[in-house]
Amino acid sequence: MSLREMVLRFRRYGTLLVLILVATFVIGLFPLARRINSYYSTSYVSLLKNSLSQLLDQASKQSQSSFGAVVRRLNRQLVDIATNVDLSNLLRYEKLPWVSSDLRGIFVHGNSVKFLIEQGSDILLVEIPASLFEKIVSAEMAYVFLTSSDRTIVVCNNLNLLGSKFNTEKGFLKINDLVGFVQLERLEGFEAFVGSFVPLSTYLIVLLPYIIVALAALCGAVFWLNFAYSFENRLITAVNVVLDNVNQSLSKLEKTEEVVYVPIETKISELNQLQEAIHRLVEAQKASWHELHAMMQNLQDTVNELEGTQKVLEERNEQIIATLAEAIEVKDANTFGHSDRVVTLALELAKEVGLTDPADLEAIKFGALLHDIGKIGIPEHILNKPGRLTQQEYEIMKMHPIYGEKIIKKISGWDLVVDIVRHHHENYDGSGYPDGLKGDQISLRAQIVSLVDVFCALIEERSYRRALSVEEAVRLIEKEMVGTKFDPRLYRAFVRVLERYLRAYSAGL
């Protein structure tokens, strides 16, 4: 990506940053506004509810409370029982308890809120002066009120709102030239509402610090972007000058094979330092080029020598391994050439079942070659016994995978070969030795060597039996060993390998 493209991208990102700041500012207003509404709805409204509860509780216990409330006992026709004065022309109710929507005071001076509460067969009238709530519920930045069932304000900490009526329970509206957010909730036990009215002036006062900070951040971002754009223009100009100088020096290098770089003074000190560094680097490169070339030639000669040494070591290792395999066959007269045959067929079977990892193929090669190396630890009279082994002799013979593991595991990096040597006598049904593994517990590498080992043993001459033909060996394995000693899928793959191998052998004849 060129510097100009990076600058254009930077400008796009800068513009996007400003838009994000604006969007964040606008979006952030909504949760803050909701927080304001929530604060007044929960705190101030709760305060009003508690005040009403205390006033009603104290007023119902006496006819005149210390709060200035008046309590009268009425009958169901709204007639004062004590004075026999009919108040039905001033009061009404639909369902008790009830909050009257008439603001005029009956027994108190000025406006009042009147609660009708059922008490036995009578009705208790609790009249509380409206002015009392302005003193009890103090809210400087919001108005808290109580409405009757028709949503007419009957008590409020702002007396100018008394008698106002709401047409909605939640939302922005205008009351007495005041615009704000109103939220109502039902007063428990009464056909009335308690609510709060938050004027727009409250939002402006509360949100003013947020607005100032947001605008300051926005102005700072715009100022910074403007400064960055100005710097970018100077940077692009200086970089283009330096780049042209570098390209001219490279053109000279193509013609003379000798580069000469002369720094150009710019207004950016870092670019001047960069050019000076390029100049020193070019001079140092000219001084060290021939030395580096000679060093690379010596390094290549060393690499070639190491590759030759590695090849000799690999050949010697293979000779040592082959010698070990021959040592086993020398000790066990019955297995001459057995390991070589197992190696050939095991590698073919591995390729047939899809093994391509060089590590797996190498492990199968050396595992097949050395799978019986543990027989070095078995007495010769048992190895070369012409007849069937006794149970005791067979138990000794079963130790050769363990002996082989002890020998092979000392070779670093041969963990896969060790697995084959130890488990090439494990059976598919778990009846093998030395660990009694079954199914997929036996690695595919060990299963391959095991199957090929048995087949090669069957077609080889032994002191205790004659060699079987290939057909006889295949029938014997299929009849007595598939599903118990060997995996049926692996056996079918082995049959394909044998068929291909026999066809190639016949064609060679």
Same-domain check for residues 204 and 339: no
How crowded is residue 132: how many other Cβ atoms within 10 Å of its Cβ? 18
Of the residues 170, 187, 208, which one is the last residue of a structural domain? Answer: 208
Whether residue 415 lies inside any domain: the answer is yes
Of the residues 208, 235, 250, which one is the last residue of a structural domain? Answer: 208
CA dihedral defined by 346, 347, 353, 357, rounded to 10 degrees? 130
434-464 as b/e: b if 16+ CB within 10 A: eeebeeeebbbbbbbbbbbbbbbbbebeeee
Measure the CA–CA gap between 158 and 170, rounded to whole angstroms: 19
How many angstroms separate the Cα of 31 from the Cα of each of 38, 39, 181, 279, 484?
Answer: 10, 12, 14, 60, 73
Of the residues 157, 188, 208, which one is the last residue of a structural domain? Answer: 208
- Structural domain harbouring 61: 3-208
How many angstroms separate the Cα of 234 from the Cα of each of 267, 285, 305?
Answer: 8, 31, 56
Number of domains the chain contains: 2
How many angstroms separate the Cα of 488 from the Cα of each of 276, 345, 361, 437, 495?
Answer: 75, 17, 22, 17, 11
423 touches 448 (CB < 8 A): no
Whether residue 436 lies inside any domain: the answer is yes
The residues pairing with 71 across neighbouring beta strands, listed in sequence order, are 126
How do the pLDDT tens digits run along the chain, 509 residues long? 555 666 677 677 777 877 887 777 777 777 777 777 777 767 778 877 887 887 777 766 654 555 678 888 899 999 999 889 999 888 888 888 888 888 888 888 888 888 888 888 889 888 888 877 777 766 667 888 888 888 888 888 777 788 888 888 888 888 877 888 888 888 888 888 888 888 887 777 777 787 787 788 778 777 777 777 776 777 777 777 777 777 776 666 666 656 666 777 777 777 777 777 777 777 776 666 667 667 777 777 767 776 776 675 555 656 666 666 666 665 554 555 677 788 889 999 999 999 999 999 999 998 988 888 888 888 888 888 888 889 999 999 999 999 999 988 888 888 999 999 999 999 999 999 999 999 999 999 999 999 999 999 898 887 667 888 889 999 999 999 999 999 999 999 999 999 888 887 666 54
Whether residue 473 lies inside any domain: the answer is yes
Length of the chain in residues, anyone?
Answer: 509
Whether residue 418 lies inside any domain: the answer is yes
Whether residue 233 lies inside any domain: the answer is no
Q: Residue 481's Cα: distance from chain center in Å? A: 50
Q: Which helix (H) or strand (E) holds 346?
A: helix 338-352
**pTM, rounded to two decimals:** 0.43
Whether residue 492 lies inside any domain: the answer is yes
Whether residue 493 lies inside any domain: the answer is yes
Give me the CATH number covering residue 409. 1.10.3210.10
- SS3 of 407-450: the string is HHCCCCCCHHHHHHHHHCCCCCCCCCCCCCCCHHHCCHHHHHHH
Whether residue 175 lies inside any domain: the answer is yes
